[in-house]
Amino acid sequence: MEIIRIPRVMQDTASGHTLRGKTIGFVPTMGSLHEGHLSLVRRAKMENDVTVVSIFVNPVQFGPGEDFEKYPRDIEGDTGKLLKEEVDVLFMPDRSVMYSKGFLTRVEVEEISERLCGVFRPGHFKGVATVLTKLFHIVKPVRAYFGQKDFQQTVVVRRMVKDLNMDIDIVVCPTIRERDGLAMSSRNTYLDRGQREASGVIYRSLKQASELIISGIINVHDIEKILMGKILQEPAVSCIDYAGIFNPDTLEEVSEIRDDVLLAAAVQIGDTRLIDNILVKVKKER
Ligand code: PAF
């Protein structure tokens, strides 16, 4: 596995592969890799000639008071995992080469960035869109891989790629879960044992709500009440940022269920903010 730290070197390596007619599959990450990331790597390896993984904890997507400083970092462990997966290139730039002195540019996807997590993390998706634009220009992928756990991120990235005519396929892969249903996330390492046990409530509640919808209960108010009620029954939950039913394309709240919907929640357990979602396919009446 080649380890590259300098954007110019990564660009030249990527151009070399492209000129030889090779396709590049790209998995952007912030490291502290778990099975969720590795599932993206395996898919990228299956579908492309060359697989590039980036590890970069992107400062501009963290707000003041968020966990940028304490975000888990495990370069040695991550490198070992990527070597085992036989990844071709690990791109691992420093902050100083990604955001050199005088950096002034931001990429913003309006409206959809301001909903759901955007309400509670203003500027977060602007930071994500900005770093991904840079990474896409540096790595030159044909396909880039993201997990469904970060559903809003996938909607924002797809819109950005479409609006800015970036010639990249955005591939969204299923959320990988722990045995009790908790979506895998690097932030799960913040949870102590009790909080970790409690956190299974998020997926259980979303699952129950999705089953109600599938069974034909389509009153949004009733379902949201059950969803919120079940999450709040768990004493370790300190706050619900949101838990509800949304249009999966626009991320607006829906007032009635007539088409596929997104059940999504962002919940604080202690100081840790966890997100999860389920996409519910609604049978259309003929
Ligand atoms: O999902 C993440 O880990 C990050 O938001 C990403 C896509 C690597 C951009 O920094």
| Integer Cα distance of 226 and 242 in angstroms | 14
pLDDT of residue 285: 62
Structure tokens at 33: 């890799």
Could you identify the residue written with the tokens 């080649």?
A: 2
Our answer on whether the CB atom of 172 is closer than 6 Å to any ligand 1 atom is: no
| Integer Cα distance of 32 and 15 in angstroms | 28
Question: Which phi and psi (to 5°) does residue 92 adopt?
Answer: -135, 75
Atom from ligand 1 closest to the CA of residue 61 = 10
Query: Whole-structure pTM over 0.75, yes or no?
Result: yes
How does pLDDT run along the chain (286 residues), one tens digit per residue?
Answer: 999 999 999 999 999 999 999 999 999 999 999 999 999 999 999 999 999 999 999 999 999 999 999 999 999 999 999 999 999 999 999 999 999 999 999 999 999 999 999 999 999 999 999 999 999 999 999 999 999 999 999 999 999 999 999 999 999 999 999 999 999 999 999 999 999 999 999 999 999 999 999 999 889 999 999 999 999 999 999 999 999 999 999 999 999 999 999 999 999 999 999 999 999 999 776 5
Q: Please list the residues that pair with 2 across neighbouring strands.
A: 89
pLDDT of residue 136: 99
Our answer on whether the CB atom of 150 is closer than 6 Å to any ligand 1 atom is: yes
Atom from ligand 1 closest to the CA of residue 186 = 3
CA of 283 to the centre of ligand 1 (A): 33
Residues carrying an active site annotation: 37
